A and B are shown apart, each in its own frame.
Chain A
């Protein structure tokens, strides 16, 4: 029986993969892609389909593992966010030359805006560079259908295929039909062919030539050809070309405006279909709406007719909101449009949760090395910048290499600031280890604080290699962070509980003293993410704190330097208020107040 379900774009993608016979799905979490694999797991469990799902240590490992499955003839997929594709760029470029036997889908989720990313990069440009076809879904429904289309394309041309959803596809929900799945597994059958699978440079040239032929064929491939979605194609003069979520928004706008300008939706932005490029020569003016770079636009032969991202008609930065699209289409069709005035109210900045152990770690770092340079990394703890304890964030794993870079840069300065680097447990596994090895070799005097909250918190609590269970919740081996650190040759590796603030500050000072003479020191700040703790454990550790009205003078130290959401100044600014609804009972603030006005109730009992 067919069931209707409200599905997230990422769930629809996962369903599409399962329905199309994907037997291995591997991912590294990253917004907006994270729910693809978790949905794949829950759907496979619900439908009892015995396929492999895995959170890999990073995107490169995820890619290579899933790719091998496709070399062995299975249908497989790898999922990540756009900056994750940078990490997997090395295998990507090569895999496109070698091609596949079974269908192989590379899902790279883009984040125009950006809402939760370092860049607005367009993964379709990576596809263009790698010379692989890419499909651009406009909605959860289309994303779900695209998996099957991508596998057909992939197997017809023996080539990896990219599916590039954006945030508004990944994190939209749509009601869609959910027919049952008949699972017909393939058996792995790897055919040895070293001239292809282990090709030397000489053979790579041939593979490159083959790839060009494949691309020419893909640009003629009918199932992924652009489609007319609105208007009258015979109407001469103007045409609109759309792709991705801009296509969905444009359809609404054109309908509301009652336009009959033809609107063509491109399903496969690269390679753009040859016949379509020819057909578009019939129009004198073409508006192209796409996110985030002008990938369609670049492939038009006569760019003088085209208005888009590259021509400057459409903003090159930010998301294409539906009001932007209404504005652009109005202008293009010669209609009036008044942009609504939006209020200019500063928004709330995101902040670490009340009771987050990272807050305690950051406060301790500032106390132990007040004049330090603080390099950090990607995760919830990036929010340590609110506390003034994060000076740099570049990309996954960079905080450790940057710590090395800063100490080297200051080598000839008389005053050398202490350098303290922070990295989360999952990010450490992802790409921190090679950087740490390098600091050992160079005897870099810095302290690395590994914020081990036992999970990948920001993206929704995926397991790390230390968790001891896999994507499906099945038990697995647990990798020890201590042993890795020691194995790298670090001479100082100690664990501490950041919520035991005074002791944790002493531990950091000890590490700082060590590193001056002997090279990198590692402190593992270990306390579970509160969002991941069960209620019983939380209750057990609950420490009630109250504000002592006699000694609190409203100096605001705790509010400004500890920045816990549960603490605020009263409207008169005379006293601090502790919001019992928000307080998690971590008790750390009792160590923070310089006047001792945040009192632990247990202290009073004594």
Chain B
């Protein structure tokens, strides 16, 4: 297991790329890791391709070089095709898609987060479902990110807002189970 992790989160403006980047960063910080992120603001946020970089550990620069990312969360299938070049060989890509995208050389897992979010009555929460899915996929590769520490970050962030907290945790859990179900 490596203590340095470089993760790409990719989606479209409005999908909440920033939100899950911050949750992941918070989880790493809770484990006393140094964290850097870089994000998209301004015009591209209006529905364009949006990318966040998350670097955990000993780094100076905020961006990730192509072929260096340990993980990639793609909130749309097109986001995966856009940004899979960031993944290192055998890097882990998780994709919100009912179908499995072709990506030789990487370890790619897909799940239909959209349907789960819709079922939960929260169609805009694909991001949180995919975060749970990703956490499950990374479980055996790093202990920086875990469901427990994510839950703590979420509880802290929405303290006093029980209903919101439970809603987010349920979505996160549903994504985690979606990964497990696909591989059991």
Contacts and interface: CB of A to CB of B under 8 A. Distances in A.
A172 B37 contact: yes
Contacts of B12: 348
Contacts of B43: 31, 115-116, 350, 380, 382-383, 458
Contacts of B22: 6, 173
B46 A342 contact: no
B42 A168 contact: no
Contact of B35 (A175, A249, A342, A353): A175
Nearest to A339: B66
Interface string A364-396: 000000000000000010110000000000000
A168 B44 contact: no
Contacts of A31: 41-43
A251 B85 contact: no
Nearest to A340: B66
A325 to B, nearest CB: 8
Contacts of A352: 46
B108 to A, nearest CB: 15
A358 to B, nearest CB: 11
B60 A251 contact: yes
Interface in A544-595: 565, 581
B93 to A, nearest CB: 14
Interface string B48-91: 11000000000111111111000000000010011011000000
B123 interface: yes
B61 A252 contact: yes
Contact of A322 (B48, B63, B82): B63
B124 interface: yes
Contact of B85 (A174, A249, A342, A581): A342
A174 B66 contact: no
Nearest to B114: A581
A31 B42 CA distance: 6
A201 interface: no
Contacts of B35: 6, 173-175
Contacts of B81: 343, 345
Contact of A353 (B37, B47, B60, B124): B47
A131 B43 CA distance: 33
B2 to A, nearest CB: 14
A248 B61 contact: yes
Contact of B44 (A245, A321, A350, A353): A350
Highest count of chain A CB atoms <10 Å: which of B22, B37, B60: B60
B9 interface: no
Contacts of A565: 47
A351 interface: yes
A6 B52 CA distance: 15
Contacts of A232: none
Interface of chain A, main secondary structure: loop
B138 interface: no
B62 A245 contact: yes
A355 interface: no
Given A32-B41, A115-B42, A116-B41, A347 B48 contact: yes
A279 interface: no
Contacts of A6: 22, 25-26, 29, 35, 37
Highest count of chain B CB atoms <10 Å: which of A245, A341, A380: A245
A249 B60 contact: yes
A245 B61 contact: yes
B40 interface: yes
Contacts, number: 127
Highest count of chain A CB atoms <10 Å: which of B44, B46, B62: B62
Given A6-B26, A116-B41, A175-B35, A350 B13 contact: yes
A170 to B, nearest CB: 8
B39 interface: yes
A164 interface: no
A288 B51 CA distance: 28
Contacts of A248: 60-62
B180 interface: no
Interface in B147-163: none
B29 A175 contact: yes
Interface in B116-166: 118, 123-124
A323 interface: yes
A171 interface: yes
Highest count of chain A CB atoms <10 Å: which of B36, B48, B64: B36
A377 B45 CA distance: 19
B61 A173 contact: no
A139 B82 contact: no
A349 interface: yes
B118 to A, nearest CB: 8
Contacts of A115: 40-44
A270 B65 CA distance: 30
B166 to A, nearest CB: 20
B28 to A, nearest CB: 8
Contacts of B123: 581
A122 interface: no
Contact of B67 (A173, A249, A340, A459): A340
A252 B62 CA distance: 10
B96 to A, nearest CB: 14
Nearest to A255: B60
Contacts of A173: 22, 25, 35-39
B61 A249 contact: yes
Contacts of A155: none
A565 B46 CA distance: 10
Contact of A171 (B40, B47, B65): B40
Given A168-B38, A340-B67, A350-B43, 18 more contacts: A6-B29, A31-B41, A168-B62, A172-B37, A173-B36, A174-B35, A175-B34, A245-B62, A248-B60, A250-B61, A343-B82, A343-B85, A350-B46, A351-B47, A353-B14, A382-B43, A383-B46, A459-B42
29 contacts: A6-B29, A31-B43, A139-B36, A139-B62, A171-B39, A172-B38, A173-B36, A173-B38, A174-B62, A247-B60, A248-B62, A249-B63, A321-B63, A321-B65, A323-B66, A340-B67, A343-B84, A345-B78, A345-B82, A347-B49, A348-B48, A350-B13, A350-B46, A350-B47, A351-B46, A351-B48, A353-B46, A382-B43, A383-B43
The 10 closest A-B pairs by CB, nearest first: A116-B42, A31-B42, A249-B61, A172-B62, A350-B48, A340-B66, A248-B61, A248-B60, A350-B46, A251-B60
